[in-house]
Structure formats: structure tokens, C-alpha cells
Amino acid sequence: MEEFLDFLGFINTQLATRKIKRLEAFLMPANFSSMVGEFMGAAIPKYCPTIARNQYHNGHPDLVPKQTFPDDAVLHAEEGVEIKASRHKSGWQGHNPENVWLMVFVFDSNTSRDEHLGKSPKPFRFLKVVGAKLSKDDWSFSGRSGTSRRTITASVKRSGYDKMESNWIYRAN
């Protein structure tokens, strides 16, 4: 998490020298959250030698046990950890209800909407990290109507939230 703070600080300092808005102030909120999650998924294996980044393009989960799959690449497996990042303290979503270890990095930052709403700049900060093994029963499937263009989603239910909160990894003061 400290590496991400250093990264974001470096990027935003460089942007400021060119009078460009901070990264979190111009990326769409979902894209910024995705970037936070991707960064964490890339960083964790540096500190945990038994875990590898899933090398399969859009493979699930994001992190897999090292040398369990050929070239550490698998389209879909129950072994490993799916990483999410969110501005929301609950109500996390995935694409499918499934048995999976889920780790969520919850953060606070500005969004691309804040300037329009008159909100002042604030520093990015991590609020908490929670993780647990969820079962299919810990998800509610949202689906979509035949005319919808919305991505199909599943949301973590209260049972999954409770599992994750009881297995917290980090909490800010």
C-alpha cells in the first residue's frame, strides 16, 4: 500500500508540473478503482513468494498459488485470491457469484466529479483491507435485462461482508 501511495504521489507531482489535474481527479471512478486493484495485485507477489500474478489475460482469480498452473496462468480456478479496490465500505461487486478468496482494498479519494460539485482536493488514503473465502451463497446475482448494456454483476451479501470484516487485514486509525 505504501508503494501505491508513492506511485500516486510521484504521478500527481509530475502532472502538477504540467498543470494537469491529479490522476484521481480526471480518471472515471471505476477506472481509478481498477487501477488501484491492479497495482495491488501486481505488488503483492513481490512480498509473498508463494503467490503469483495470474498470467492468463483476464484470468480469475488475480493471484494464484505459484507453480500450481502451467506458467502461472489459468482462465478460471477456485485456488487463489481475487483483488478488488473500492471507495465503498461495503456493497462490493464481482462478475459472478462463486467460491473465491476475495480481498478488498477500501480507499478514500477525490473523483472526477468532485471539482464540478465544488469539493476540495483531499489526499488519497487507504481505509481498510478485508479478505475472506466467500461461497456462492455469499453473493447475490444481479443479472441484467435483455435490453440492458450494464455489465452483469454479483454483489457481496451481508454474510460475505461479515466474513470479510471479521477477517480484516488493515484498518486506518
Cell 480456478 sits at which residue? 77
| pLDDT recorded at residue 115 | 86
Residue 158 has pLDDT above 90, yes or no: yes
C-alpha cell at 126: 487507504
Confidence grade of residue 159 (pLDDT, cut at 50, 70, 90)? very high
pLDDT tens, residue by residue, 50-72: 999 999 999 999 999 999 999 99
Stated pTM of the model:
0.93
Could you give phi then psi for residue 40, rounded to 5 degrees? -65, -40
Residue 28 has pLDDT above 90, yes or no: yes
Residue 144 has pLDDT above 80, yes or no: no
Confidence grade of residue 152 (pLDDT, cut at 50, 70, 90)? confident
pLDDT tens, residue by residue, 91-119: 999 888 899 999 999 999 999 898 889 99
Residue 124 has pLDDT above 90, yes or no: yes
Could you give the angle at the alpha carbon of 150 between the alpha carbons of 143 and 89, nearest 5°?
A: 80
Query: How far apart, in whole angstroms, are the C-alpha atoms of residue 45 and residue 64?
Result: 10
Q: Which domain holds residue 164?
A: 2-171
Query: How far apart, in whole angstroms, are the C-alpha atoms of residue 23 and residue 5?
Result: 12
> In the predicted model, what is the mean pLDDT of the chain?
94
Our count of domains for the chain comes to: 1
- CATH code of residue 95: 3.40.600
Residue 9 has pLDDT above 90, yes or no: yes
| pLDDT recorded at residue 96 | 83
CB 136 within 8 A of CB 160: no
Q: What percent of the chain has pLDDT over 90?
A: 83
